[in-house]
């Protein structure tokens, strides 16, 4: 049985600088099959790295990490865990800040997000927190020690999602979003077959 959630786009962002994690807010963004126009993560393919250890580093593979999504509610939870006043999505290089979707980071792969101006995104999986994003938070609060190293634990299961574009269109701040959660089954590798 398919389940549907309704939420809202609080902010749309792109990270235009290939040498910087940080993104910047825009009123709207054009979404193509490659991702968000002007974003450093856009592209039909990407080079494998630390998040794709099953390939040699630098190998060209399909880009399933075109878009980064975070939620207002989860960022508030991370900020509270880090004891900081706020955590801006731009510091994490996020593309979409969503509101009103409970436990966004737990949405399963295959979840589809439908936007009113035709764009459809598909969830690839959870975006695991890392010290690189932690360093961006640390730069915003230089007087508070050890934020970079504390972020991976504080952001666990609250760092948001990554996904890819299934249908092009436009996404704007203030847009509604319909989230279709697919039926789910847990799969466990039989112990006699596990490596």
pLDDT digits 0-9 by tens, 115-155 = 999 999 999 999 999 999 999 999 999 999 999 999 999 99
Q: Is 128 inside any structural domain?
A: yes
DSSP line for 91-105: GGT-SEEEES-TTGG
What predicted TM-score, i.e. pTM, was given to this entire model? Answer: 0.93
Supply φ then ψ for residue 64, to 5 degrees: -105, 10
Res. 66: pLDDT tops 70: yes
In a domain, 191, yes or no: no
Select the more confidently predicted residue: 1 or 103. Answer: 103
- Does 80 have pLDDT greater than 80? yes
Stronger pLDDT, 136 or 193, i.e. the higher one: 136
Whole-number Cα distances in Å, 23 to 39, 146, 151: 8, 23, 18
Query: For residue 1, what pLDDT is reported?
Result: 59
Query: Which distant-in-sequence residues (6+ apart) come within 8 Å of 186 by Cβ?
Result: none
Q: Is residue 189 part of a domain?
A: no
Q: At what angle do helices 147-154 and 131-140 cross, to 10 degrees?
A: 120
- In a domain? residue 87: yes
Residue 187 in domain = no
Instruction: State the total domains in the chain.
Output: 1
85/21 Cα distance (integer angstroms): 21
Answer whether residue 188 shows pLDDT above 90.
no
- Tokens representing 133 are 């994003």
Q: Does the residue 3 lie in any domain?
A: no
CATH of the domain at 93: 2.40.33.20
User: Does residue 120 lie in a domain region?
Assistant: yes
Would you say residue 97 has pLDDT above 70?
Answer: yes
- Cβ atoms of 52 and 34 closer than 8 Å: no
Decide if 117 is inside a domain.
yes
Domain that holds residue 123: 8-181
């Amino acid at each position: 049985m398919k389940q549907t959630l309704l939420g809202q786009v609080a902010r749309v962002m792109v990270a235009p600088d290939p040498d910087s994690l940080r993104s910047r807010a825009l009123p709207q963004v054009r979404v193509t099959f490659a991702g968000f126009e002007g974003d450093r993560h856009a592209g039909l393919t990407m080079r494998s790295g630390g998040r794709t250890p099953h390939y040699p580093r630098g190998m060209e593979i399909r880009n399933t990490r075109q878009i980064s999504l975070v939620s207002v509610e989860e960022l508030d939870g991370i900020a509270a865990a880090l004891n900081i006043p706020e955590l801006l999505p731009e510091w994490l290089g996020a593309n979409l800040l969503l509101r009103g979707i409970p436990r966004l980071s737990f949405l399963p792969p295959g979840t589809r997000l439908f936007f009113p101006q035709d764009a459809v995104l598909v969830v690839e999986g959870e975006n695991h927190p890392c010290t690189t994003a932690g360093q961006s938070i640390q730069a915003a609060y230089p007087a508070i020690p050890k934020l970079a190293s504390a972020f991976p634990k504080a952001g666990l299961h609250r760092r948001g999602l990554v996904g890819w574009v299934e249908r092009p269109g436009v996404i704007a701040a203030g847009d509604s979003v319909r989230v279709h959660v697919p039926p789910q089954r847990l799969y466990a590798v039989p112990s006699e077959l596990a490596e």
